[in-house]
Structure 1
Amino acid sequence: MRPRLLPPRFTGRLHDPRTATVIGRWLGAAFAVCFATGLISHGMQHPPSWLSGFPSRPVGAYRFTQGLHVASGIAAVPLLLAKLWTVYPRLFTWPPVRSPRHGLERLSVGLLVGAAVFEVATGLLNTAQWYPWPFSFVPVHYAMAWVVTGSLVLHVAVKAPDIGRHWSRRSAGTLALPAEDARNRRSLLTAVGAAVGAVTVTTVGQSFTPLKGLDLLAPRHPDQGLQGLPVNRTAAAAGVGAVAEDGYRLRVDGPRPAVLTLADLRRLPQYEAELPIACVEGWSKSAHWGGVRIRDLLERAGAPAHARVRVVSLQTRGGYRVSELDATHARDPLTLLALRLGGEELAPDHGYPARLIAPNRPGVLQTKWVCRLEVLT
């Protein structure tokens, strides 16, 4: 007689609801922080039509929120693995669907697991700027964030009774657990916490510069790069050839349009500002910039106070060739058309001959190789 196939049996106590609940709390917190900061990042890069703009102060707000976004996403990796390890025996429960509630629970779990693994994996690859897929990262990552959040809310709603029974050590569902189980659980949770701490400490230095000496696993180090600043897109990658000083022209299109040479820009009043570059991949660093205030250029062009500005680059390849400054950023005295970095002329990879630098703004919108400013009313 052919032996009957039976689903595997798991007797380990650490695959229990209490352990899953504790790790789930931590993972839920990481996902919540990652989702909230991700909404901020996406809104700043792709502002909705009903939003007039984001504030320009504090100058490092985006640096903080995006650093927190990437740090919480990286912290979610060991938490997600631990959570999956804790609950994976339930994949083998039989029968696979026992009731409508059980079927809804399994559906929510399948959707949550698939979306969460996809979101974390693609986010990690984005920090390394490696895109081995045919789709555009930003819109898909943003859409999947909503899928993860929605499936997580559904999962919590379905599992609320179980979560309540195992929320704390004093909960009714955990009173009878043996002491040996409690010790093993503490060891597991300590190991998971240590893993979260390790991946955080060894990566967060790319944005939290006091810990940059421990920046061992992050793809960027804040001090590595031309003029002491990392470079995401070089002039060659952007299709910007050598720009001759006497051949450069900046067009300012407004009520009183003007064309300025690099020498003209250098003769205008010069200002200095200490502002961070904060990139969506998670790295950031403050630097000392010098150049002409955008507000001064707009006043010369007769732009009204409420005007927005379209900033156009010389680049011919890649995204974000054009960005837009809202009125708040355009009139902020710290927003510069930068000509210098760290007291030196901009290197070509940092945007020579002129680039935008503004407070509280994503790095992809700090347009390099600026050739035109268009006043929008």
Structure 2
Amino acid sequence: MGVMKRRLPAVRPPAFRGRLHDARTATSIGRWLGAAIAVCFGTGLISHYLQHPPAWLTDELPSRPAWGYRLTQGLHVASGIAAIPLLLAKLWAVYPRLFAWPPVRSVRHALERVSVAVLVAGAVFELATGLLNTVQWYPWPFSFVPVHFAVAWLLAGALLLHVAVKYPQIRAHWSRASPASAALPVADGPDRRSLLTGVAAAVGAVTLTTVGQSFTPLKAFDVLAPRHPDHGPEGLPVNRTARAAGVVQVDALAYRLEVQGPRPYTLTLAELAALTQHESVLPIACVEGWSKSAHWTGVRMTDLLRRAGAPLDARVRVVSLERYGAYRVMEMGRAYAHDPLTLLALKLNGQTLTADHGYPARIIAPNRPGVLQTKWVTRLEVL
């Protein structure tokens, strides 16, 4: 008597029966996501080249408008945070296509899927690492800045390729008046509007509760951002403390500022304070996205350089007492060095600098990333 064999059911790809996993929904969300990524990428380039300018660009970087970096970096972080719920919604709208069967139908289809894989991986990587950078948490073995910058270019290329490949479908579903969009079931209209409204509300919520760290009129709603613009010594946040930088208590009597140039000289702290003091209202704007304007008092960099016999096109190298850190030595191009707003500051909001804010002296310059506003300055070198 023969043994009957039970036939196993054929394995099939998962079924996705949601009505809104369609091209019209994906295109609607994709427009917002593309705009957010474009703003984030453009402002990210500005941030990178202000922090790490190539030699040929150093003297060409503008020092005005004074609030320029505050605006661009605030937009960079805000657009990056806004892109997170948009990316999640976009992936929800298109994820059935990720499980399409068969997975590869042709060479062109294989290239398309590879480009999509690069696009998704790059977007997730950039937004995840960028978000963790805002809280200064780096749970990875690589250096954040160069890798984040390189993957940004990879993401931009993958996005352009994706738009080029999908352009016919994007154009067909771009507006409600298009024939392809009109052909979609009318019954899906209210649900689609509800979904898009929910996505817009999520974007608005994360923006409202974080953007106050740089757009101070909304600071009262700053409940999810890692920094509040009013929290810190003398009413200004601090990223890197004196302890973290390895700066022990500075003896005011022993402190000396060395200015090296054609006519080198040295100043004690008392002599530095006896020079003509000027005031500037300038923001501290950090790469993590927070910023706030403050009143700074100190000696103009131009006065110190002129006394050292520096030519008008001279750069200046600034050396800190800081023992640890990538920005212990910083170079300023001629536009920054000779801008009348650039100070070697001794006071913040009318009070002597605290140790965490760079006592006894620090740089404050317009349109400049916070990491380049060197604290604990001990030497200026005319280049």
Query: 1:249 maps to what in 2?
Result: 256
1:86 equivalent to 2:104? Answer no
Distance in 1 between the 2:42 and 2:320 partners? 31
Q: Please, what TM-score do these two structures have when normalized by structure 1? A: 0.99
Report the count of equivalent residues.
Answer: 376
1:35 corresponds in structure 2 to 41
Matched, 1:307 2:314: yes
The structure 2 residue matched to 1:98, chosen from 105, 110, 113, is 105
Q: Does the alignment pair 1:328 with 2:338?
A: no
Residue number among 13, 23, 26 corresponding to 1:20 in the alignment? 26
Unmatched 5+ stretches in structure 1: none
- The SS at the match of 2:164 is helix
CA distance in 2, matches of 1:67, 1:325: 23
- Which residue is equivalent to 1:164? 171
Q: Does 1:216 find its partner at 2:192?
A: no
Measured after TM superposition, the shift of residue 49 of structure 1 is 2.5
Pick from 127, 147, 152 the counterpart of residue 140 of structure 1.
147
Greater than 6 Å deviation, 4+ residue runs: none
1:186 to 184, 193, 212: 193
Partner of 1:318: 325
Please give the residue correspondences for 1:260-275 in structure 2 after superposition, counting only pairs within 5 Å: 260-275=267-282
In 2: Cα distance, 1:66 partner to 1:135 partner: 23
Deviations 1:194-227 (A, max 9, x none): 0000000000000000000000100000000000
Q: Match of 1:75, SS?
A: helix
* Cα distance in 1 for residues equivalent to 2:23 and 2:107: 20
Q: Say which SS state the counterpart of residue 319 (structure 2) adopts.
A: strand
Matched residue of 2:273: which SS?
helix
* 1:99 to partner: Cα distance: 2.0
State the distance in 2 between where 1:367 and 1:252 align: 15
Secondary structure at 2:317 match in 1: strand
- The answer as to whether partners of 1:18 and 1:174 remain within 8 angstroms in 2 is yes
Task: Tell me the secondary structure at the aligned position of residue 117 of structure 1.
Answer: helix
Residues 317-362 of structure 1 deviation map (CA, whole Å, 9 limit, x = unaligned)? 1221111111111111110000000111000000000000001100
Identical aligned pairs, as a percentage?
72
Q: Which residue of 2 aligns with 1:344?
A: 351
Deviations 1:35-63 (A, max 9, x none): 00000000000112221331111110100
Say which is worse superposed, 3-12 or 249-258, in terms of deviation: 3-12
SS in 2 for 1:9: coil
Q: CA deviation at 1:179?
A: 2.1
CA distance in 2, matches of 1:373, 1:362: 19
Which residue does the alignment assign to 1:228? 235
Contact 1:101/1:158 (<8 A) preserved = no
State the AA in 2 paired with 1:128.
Answer: V
Between 34-43 and 100-109, the greater mean CA deviation after superposition? 100-109
The CA distance in 2 between the partners of 1:56 and 1:295, in whole Å, is 14
Retained in 2: the 8 A contact 1:47–1:53? no
SS at match of 1:246: coil
Give the distance between the partners of 1:63 and 1:312, measured in 2 at CA.
24
2:355 corresponds to 1:355: no
Q: Mark the structure with the bigger radius of gyration.
A: 2
Q: Name which of structure 1's ranges 323-332 and 199-208 shifts more when overlaid on structure 2.
A: 323-332
Give yes or no for contact 1:270–1:290 (8 Å, CA) kept in 2: yes
2:375 alignment partner in structure 1 = 368
Q: Partner of 1:64 in structure 2?
A: 71
Measure how far apart 1:276 and its partner are. 0.3
Of 324-333 and 172-181, deviating more is 172-181
* Cα RMSD, aligned residues only: 0.7
Corresponding residue for residue 284 of structure 1: 291
- Please tell me the residue identity of whatever aligns with 1:323: M
3-state SS of 1:13 partner: coil
Equivalent AA in structure 2 for residue 248 of structure 1: Y
| TM-aligned CA deviation for residue 101 of structure 1 | 2.4
User: For residue 10 of structure 2, what is the aligned residue in structure 1?
Assistant: 4
Deviation of 1:172 after TM superposition, in Å, equals 2.1
Please give the alpha-carbon distance, in whole angstroms, between the structure 1 residues aligned to 2:71 and 2:124: 25
Instruction: After superposition, give the CA deviation of every residue in 1:138-158 in whole Å (9 maximum; x if it has no partner).
Output: 000000100110000111111
Q: Secondary structure of the equivalent of 2:64?
A: coil
Amino acid paired to 2:90: K
Gaps of 5+ in 2: 1-6
